Amino acid sequence: MSVLICQRITSSSSVLELPTFLQSVGIMRPDDANVAGNVHGGTILKMIEEAGAIISTRHCNSQNGERCVAALARVERTDFLSPMCIGEVAHVSAEITYTSKHSVEVQVNVMSENILTGTKKLTNKATLWYVPLSLKNVDKVLEVPPVVYSRQEQEEEGRKRYEAQKLERMETKWRNGDIVQPVLNPEPNTVSYSQSSLIHLVGPSDCTLHGFVHGGVTMKLMDEVAGIVAARHCKTNIVTASVDAINFHDKIRKGCVITISGRMTFTSNKSMEIEVLVDADPVVDNSQKRYRAASAFFTYVSLSQEGKSLPVPQLVPETEDEKKRFEEGKGRYVQMKAKRQGRAEPQP
C-alpha cells in the first residue's frame, strides 16, 4: 500500500511554527486483507503508527538543536469501529494534542472511503505517545518543544491523560513476566489449544534510522498472532474489534530475534480477549539477555460469511494461572462494557 502525505498544517504562533496536523491516504490492496476481504487490524495499526511517527518526529525537530527521531512508547486503547475492505481508500489524519517535557501525545483518526459510491465512515480513533531519542545517542531522551494551546483547559486535560498513561505504563512493565509454553495434545477450547507463536528476525526494512524496530511493524506482527489464536479457537472468519493499551517496554534492535506469543485469556458470548507478548533475544550480543519488549490485549469477534456476529465457543481455563487470567479478563470486559453503556446514555 502506498501512502501519500497530502497536507501539513502548522501553528499560527509567531514565536514558533510547529507542524501539528498531518493527513495521509492509501488504497487497500488484497495483501492488506484476510480471505474474507476485511483489512487486517495490524495493517491499520501500522498506518496509524506511521502517521504518528512522522508528525511527532517533525515536531521534535522543529527547533534548532540536537536531531532526533520519535519512538513509540504507548498506544492507548483503540476500537475498530467499522471494518475496512479491499479497494477502499484509507484517510489517516494525525494531530499533536499535548506535549510534556519528554513526550508527545498524538491523536489519529482513520476514515474509509468507498470510491465507487463516495461513502465515508470512521473506522478507528487512536491515541499514541512518543518520546524523542537522540540520533547521536539512542539512550538519550531529548526535550520536546511545547505546543501552543488555544484554550488552557486543553493543556490541563492533556496533563491528566499524560499522568494516567505514565502510571499505567509503569504498572504493566513487569506484570507480564511469564512466557507461553507449548502443550502436547491439548483439548479443544482450552488456552493451550489455540495459543500461537511467531518468530521473526529483525532486518533493516523493519527498522528506523536508529536501527530499532518501527512500532507499527511490532503492532502488525502482534495483531497477526492474535488473529491466529482467535481463528484457531472459533474456526471462523475473525476481525479485530479493539486493542487495549499497547505498552512498549524496551527498544528492539536490528538483528534481534523476536518471539511474538499469543494466548486466549477470556471469552464473552461474542468476543475473545487475547494476550500478546513480545520477547526480544539479542542473539548477536552475548552481554544482553532475552527481555520483554511489548505487551497488549487484543479483542476479536467471530463473523459469519455474511459479516454478522457469531457466538464464540467458551474458553475452558484449566490451570490456576489460566483461571486467574480469565477472571482478570472478565473484569476488563465488564469495565469496558460499562464505559460504552455510559457513553451511549443520553445526557440529561
Q: Which residues are catalytic?
A: 34, 223
Residue-by-residue DSSP string for 87-143: TPEEEEEEEEEEE-SS-EEEEEEEEEE-TTT--EEEEEEEEEEEEEEESS-TTPBPP
3-state secondary structure of 268: coil
CA-only gyration radius of the chain, Å: 20
Q: Which are the contacts of 239, defined by CB distance < 8 A and separation ≥ 6?
A: 34, 38, 41, 80, 83, 300, 301, 303
Strands 89-99 and 78-80: unpaired
| CA dist 51 → 87, 97, 102 (Å) | 21, 14, 19
Strands 237-243 and 291-303: antiparallel
Contact predicate 201/172, CB 8 Å = no
Contact predicate 304/230, CB 8 Å = no
Task: Enter the DSSP assignment of 306.
Answer: T
Residue 92's beta-bridge partner residues? Answer: 24, 110
